Amino acid sequence: MKTLITSEQVAALAFTGGDYLDPAAVAEGDIAAAEVRYVRPVVGQRLYERLLAGEYAELVADYLAAPLALWTRVLVQTRLEVRTGSCGAVVADPDGAEPVSESQSLRLLRALRSQARALMQRASDHLDQRAADYPEYDPMQNILKRCRIHGDFVQIR
């Protein structure tokens, strides 16, 4: 399966400030799911296919890698907190650590989503400003051009 970034990049970009993640904990399917759900609706199908083919590497590195890594973390975060074994689902509790509360987990996910949305908006703005550099980009396919939600405020364009 081809993805825009690797699990190593997810670990480096989305787990910072002393956070650690073994890259093996992130599957290619996790990254692909984040791409399909959060990146492709912004860049459009044609540009997405070119990005997967290795075109526009600077766009991926400078504008899409960081939000994609954060969206991937959002998708896997709960799985990192809960393990499945022979006894079913259990809370991960390594020696010397204590699982987070539900409210702490929700606050973390909310913060990750907020940061990822802001970085995707930055990528969208870059695509709009440099549309001539990306002929496959169609602003009419960019979901952020149609609707944005800011807290309780919904903006439809």
Task: Please give the pLDDT value at position 27.
Answer: 95
**Has residue 113 been placed in a domain?**
yes
**Has residue 115 been placed in a domain?**
yes
How would DSSP label each residue in 68-115? HHHHHHHHHHHHHHEEEETTEEEE---TT--PPPHHHHHHHHHHHHHH
Number of Cβ within 10 Å of residue 151's Cβ equals: 5
Assessment of whether the complete model's pTM goes beyond 0.75 = yes
Specify the number of domains making up the chain.
1
Q: Which residue has the tokens 């913060």?
A: 111
Domain that residue 96 falls in: 7-156
**Has residue 1 been placed in a domain?**
no
Percent of the chain with pLDDT over 90: 64
**Has residue 108 been placed in a domain?**
yes
How confident is the model over 20-59, as pLDDT tens digits?
A: 888 999 999 999 999 999 999 999 999 999 999 999 999 9
pLDDT exceeds 70 at position 96: no
Task: Please give the pLDDT value at position 150.
Answer: 63
Measured between alpha carbons, how far is 50 from 124 in angstroms, rounded to an integer?
A: 16
